[in-house]
Structure 1
Amino acid sequence: MPRFALKVEYHGSPFAGWQRQADQPSVQGAIEVALARLESGPHTIAAAGRTDAGVHARGQVCHCDLQKSWTPFRLSEALNYHLKPQPVAITACAEVPEEWHARFSATERRYLYRLLPRRAPLTMEAGQVWKVPAPLDVAAMQEAAKHLVGRHDFTTFRSTMCQAQSPIKTLDEISFEVVDTGAGAEVQARFRARSFLHNQVRSLIGTLERVGAGAWSPEEVKTALEARDRAACGPVAPPQGLYLMGVGYPEPVFD
């Protein structure tokens, strides 16, 4: 039974998240339905990470087991045909060893969060960025982020619904870049770690936005982290600015 890795891009707005839902649309459900049109099912796919409702992906990775020995090109083309018109695309496909696992073989996840300081309503970027009302002090946000990089107890920045066994995680990178777009000077925040807690990135960026807006000092982020108390967290950022950009593995999966 050949196993295939799929690199998946999707716009999260129409979905209740990655994970299959009994009564709501999901990205996992959409791909499994497409697979069932190629080979009789049921099909169950596993992903590198479960994104929440409204969260997007450029580089989600999942794997599936099939009966037929497809070529990766034909499989990706067939899936993309059956996924239409939903905003989901298979952008790469590769056959992998049967012991390879999209989640458990992964060594890092990379996320992007987009903030757009702008007073005017969004048109082209609606549903794709977090619109904030005033310019952000990116230098102050980067200073605050220094307190968060490294191995910490992230209880403050963890959803109360998180099922992880431990709140201790190692955050390898938080970096900021200001990108001049036609819509305005967009602030892009990048996060990299082996794994993340539920709602961790949105909790972190919501707190860091408060620093950029001048409502918090960088030192208050350190205090919030050390409190190990969810009540010390700033507001949780909305999902539409968040993108799963890529997943790392010990060996390259896609050419």
Structure 2
Amino acid sequence: MKRHLALFLAYQGTAYHGFQVQKNALTVARVLQDAIAAALGSREEIKGCSRTDAGVHALAYCVSFFTASGIPCEKLPLALNAHLPADIRVFSAREVEPDFHARYSCTGKAYLYRVRNAPAASPFSYQLAWRVWPKLELQPMRRAAALLCGQHDFASFMAAGSTIEAEGGSTVRTVRSFEVEQKGDELRFMIEADGYLYHMVRILVGTLVEAGAGRRDPDGVPAILAARDRAAAGQTAPAKGLALAKVFYDEFTLDGGGELWA
């Protein structure tokens, strides 16, 4: 009888075209399936918790799959990491109920977006943060973030060309918290919600950056939401600054933790 397992992993997405398997493109899922096949002796179908885009990172990511392998959960990370590149790492594994699904059992996710607010990019974080200059004002961005919390129709913050059908039939989402913190030259945008539209976090961050730059009134957020029009919101922030940071389930929470985001 096959066991149903959940893996907790993290990855730097710079070299990958997102998580999901694609034809003629290197993805995290493909590399992980290769490692599972090598370590467990069988190539398994895997379910990922999020459809991260090309260049997006994950501090916390959940994958579920069935396997006939008897390798104990505590030994799986070592076995899999031996076949994975350094930019993908499995941290733990656990057995879950047969009806558990990494994506559909998820009750919410939190994303972290990094902005380097400095005249020059850092050679240590240029692949992990969006450099923005001139200086951004923190309070207008915090004001806009506060107005975005709660249940709203986020159609204005959905990528152009995406459809309501593709987003599960509704563009209404609940943002549980949205914080903007500054640490030296770095701004960190942390958002937690029950779900997200395509490019939603990147458009939210792009809009807040415009408010911080003085190009947009933070009190105009309600009008942006009411417009239900992508053109009403700000720019789409680059993928490289975005990372999935926490994944929530009824059974457990995966938290990437600040120490993983050097």
Tell me which interval the TM-score lies in, with the shorter structure as reference length.
over 0.9
Query: Aligned ranges for residues 1-255 of structure 1 at < 5 Å?
Result: 1-85=2-86, 87-159=87-159, 160-161=161-162, 163-164=166-167, 165-180=169-184, 185-252=185-252
- How far the C-alpha of 1:37 sits from its partner, in A, is 1.0
Distance 2:104 2:121 in 1: 41
Distance 1:211 1:62 in 2: 37
- CA-based RMSD: 1.5
- How far the C-alpha of 1:254 sits from its partner, in A, is 7.1
Which stretch shows the higher mean deviation, 48-57 or 61-70? Answer: 61-70
The percent of aligned pairs where both chains have the same amino acid is 33
Which residue identity does 2:62 align to in structure 1? V
**Does the CA-based 8 Å contact 2:10-2:58 persist in structure 1?**
yes
Distance 1:121 1:153 in 2: 35
**Does the CA-based 8 Å contact 2:141-2:209 persist in structure 1?**
yes
Which stretch shows the higher mean deviation, 57-66 or 34-43? Answer: 34-43
The DSSP-based 3-state class of the residue aligned with 1:220 is helix
Change (3 A) 1:254 1:15: closer
Count of equivalent residues: 250
- How far the C-alpha of 1:141 sits from its partner, in A, is 0.6
Which stretch shows the higher mean deviation, 90-99 or 204-213? Answer: 90-99
Q: TM-score scaled to structure 2, two decimals? A: 0.91
Which stretch shows the higher mean deviation, 57-66 or 159-168? Answer: 159-168
Q: TM-score scaled to structure 1, two decimals? A: 0.94
Which stretch shows the higher mean deviation, 209-218 or 139-148? Answer: 139-148
**Does the CA-based 8 Å contact 1:16-1:53 persist in structure 2?**
yes
- How far the C-alpha of 1:101 sits from its partner, in A, is 1.4
The DSSP-based 3-state class of the residue aligned with 1:38 is helix
The DSSP-based 3-state class of the residue aligned with 1:83 is coil
Structure 2 unaligned blocks of 5 or more: 256-262
CA deviations over 1:73-116 (Å, ceiling 9, x no partner): 2211111010134x100012111121211111111101000111
